[in-house]
Structure 1
């Protein structure tokens, strides 16, 4: 170990000690180094197989949803418009991390440009917030369709659906916008090595040799605000939906009505539970191994985009019939 030069850090000099192999003397790095999954380097090729399979299913499944909704006029209703928005978001989030991850696993290409790193971080965070908002919009659509069906077509018109989608996009863009600007203004003089497969927000800002409490507190408050608010509205919507279902006269009607929103409930669980688990383990699971943290951080971003089209395809009769139509015609 040898002591490196002093580093300028927000109005005072901060000495630090680090080995030559992972430290440099700079304020604004031109590149970061993504390590992949530290501790599992020997298994990178094997880990890439399920991740690559998940990505292939994500691409095929979500493009299939988009194609079917575009070509089938009976699916031109608010629920499927929101589903298309969800499919686009899933494609963007998974594409934001998978190509670089696979280049690390396959070609040991670990460098990522500083601006590209912040861009990747912004896309992941903003589209995750947008996705949460779209899930709220889908819950509202199911609420109107089941609790006030006669007003569904007049309440959720195409312009209203477009405005809701635009509002969710703007919310995600504006809430996350401070993150890359704050990350860019910090001085980085400890190391440019990120022990992850992608530029996760806190993994990046923790490299700064400055007081990052602003970024940390804003990240926590934004996550708490978005998650609490969105989960609250979803819970209220489905409480009213369940009350309406239990008031229906016959068991068959209740089961049929519940089946119309069952797929959406599954998507909500798939979207929130892995994210919540990853967030809690990152914040409070100090005894959990680092490679498990990183694996969970990847899974919670890759699993919902893969499962969402499968859930809707398997549980939704209209999509299932439309998807199987070419095969049924072939054998009849």
Structure 2
């Protein structure tokens, strides 16, 4: 009887073991380990086009980034991410401090732990526009009782006024221009003093030919300067589509007053194909809506005229 009972207990235990196995269980404890992934950062863009005081969109790319991840910019301020995924973080940041190399620090979250601090961007100093010189040389000063120009170091010139243009920064040393990338000067040229980029003129009978003239109604009618602006922007001149008619003040900034009539009163090396005559500006004449200001590159003077008159046009856009 005792042996039969032992057989019975053993059989029950065996049956229980088999039942547990059939149900996917186990008679022993099993520990499951979830593999961990380490977040990494591989690149940051842009690397070189940031400027002090100007907001720029910065993108950090990597792998396994937390969806809460953010980054900070050394000496700068950054907004919350506009894109935040396991591979990309994009934020708008405004560089501060001085120019140089700045560190991008990627964090698990705002105020979290550092994921990476090896990426950098190069930040340039903010462009400061300057008023260009008039071009008057040290031999073009006035003296009392005469309209004849004399040496600015002469006693007569100093006696009249010791702060004449030719005494301060004589000549064109206060004027500076440069090419825009690989574009020819007949396409565009940059004023290094003001940062403005000017349209160049061609001599080929085409859209931007030097001899073309326009009215200045501003309503996009055929033959108007406003229609010309639209046409030039449609060509993406020098890669830009924000060309516009300059103000009278802007246009006068490229006048070289050392050049006498009939001109053209401009640096013809940098501004080839310039006609010594009137060019329209976007500045309205306050005395009458039917008139606008222009600059005459034959004399270098600024004057106003009726908008229905046809004059030359040179477009401009903001540069630096």
Check whether TM > 0.5.
no
Q: Give the TM bin, normalised by the shorter chain.
A: under 0.3
Structure 1 or 2: more strand by fraction: 2
TM-score in terms of structure 1 length: 0.19
TM-score in terms of structure 2 length: 0.19
Which of 1 and 2 has higher RCO (CA within 8 Å, sep 6+)?
Answer: 1
- Which structure has the greater CA radius of gyration? 2
